[in-house]
Chain A
Amino acid sequence: GQNIDQPTEMTATEGAIVQINCTYQTSGFNGLFWYQQHAGEAPTFLSYNVLDGLEEKGRFSSFLSRSKGYSYLLLKELQMKDSASYLCAVSTFPYNQGGKLIFGQGTELSVKP
């Protein structure tokens, strides 16, 4: 089956660093995505990993270990506007057979002053 796990909730302080973990067990793997979603709004793309290692994009970094079925999203210099749900998603099909994403339940991050 397909299983993607992430913590339900996290709290962090403005200006701090927070790491949101994601573990996955899927039939096939073709990339892992992180999305940010504010309540009632559309998910917005943050980062993508297909090979092991760290991808850095400004205040956001994402890490992938395929052998461990593990990824994390690192958010630095937290701002109040970073309070949102963070969704881990895995693409399970080869690119030429589709590209659907399997999403985790999301981690609700609250940033406190």
Chain B
Amino acid sequence: DSGVTQTPKHLITATGQRVTLRCSPRSGDLSVYWYQQSLDQGLQFLIQYYNGEERAKGNILERFSAQQFPDLHSELNLSSLELGDSALYFCASSVSVAGGRVNEQFFGPGTRLTVL
């Protein structure tokens, strides 16, 4: 158990719908990262937040957005869903982006999204 929690574990929805995925980082971790993993693509970085602020962005679609709240939990919002959005969505957290080294990221169990 990494200490990172994600809900829900599974989500089945229809095209055109909107869903929200939730992540709680490990206690003490300030950085939260979101990744998408589909069968043909591998793990793709979406977005990172550090202590409530957006810090880095990957190939995140405009239909997707995220935020990190004062209690450091994060939500990833996916809207106008398409069949191709079906994937495993992982949240990861790390201690900090400061301190002189890159810290390892600890991954949550993921949310499996199926768009029908």
* Co-complex (A, B): yes
Complex: A43 Cα to B43 Cα, angstroms: 10
Complex: A105 Cα to B39 Cα, angstroms: 10
Complex: A100 Cα to B58 Cα, angstroms: 8
Q: Cβ of A41 and Cβ of B42 under 8 Å apart?
A: no
**Binary contact track A85-102/B, C-beta < 8 Å → 1, others 0:** 001010101011111111
Interface residues on chain B, number (Cβ under 8 Å): 32
Q: Within residues 66 to 109 of chain A, which ones have a CB less than 8 A from any CB in chain B?
A: 87, 89, 91, 93, 95-106
Best-surrounded residue of B35, B102, B103, B109 (most CB of chain A within 10 A): B102
Task: Say whether, besides A42-B2, A100-B58, A103-B43, A95 and B108 are in contact (CB < 8 Å).
Answer: no
Task: Say whether, besides A41-B109, A48-B104, A50-B102, A95 and B97 are in contact (CB < 8 Å).
Answer: yes
Interface residue from B43, B88, B98 paired with A96 (Cβ < 8 Å): B98
Complex: A102 Cα to B50 Cα, angstroms: 18
For residue B28, CB closer than 8 A to chain A, the reply is no
For residue B110, CB closer than 8 A to chain A, the reply is yes
Complex: A75 Cα to B57 Cα, angstroms: 33
A35 cross-chain contacts in B, Cβ below 8 A: 107
| Interface positions of B (Cβ within 8 A of A) | 2, 4, 31, 33, 35, 42-45, 48, 50, 55-56, 58, 88, 90, 94, 97-110, 112
| Interface positions of A (Cβ within 8 A of B) | 30-31, 33, 35, 40-45, 48, 50, 87, 89, 91, 93, 95-106
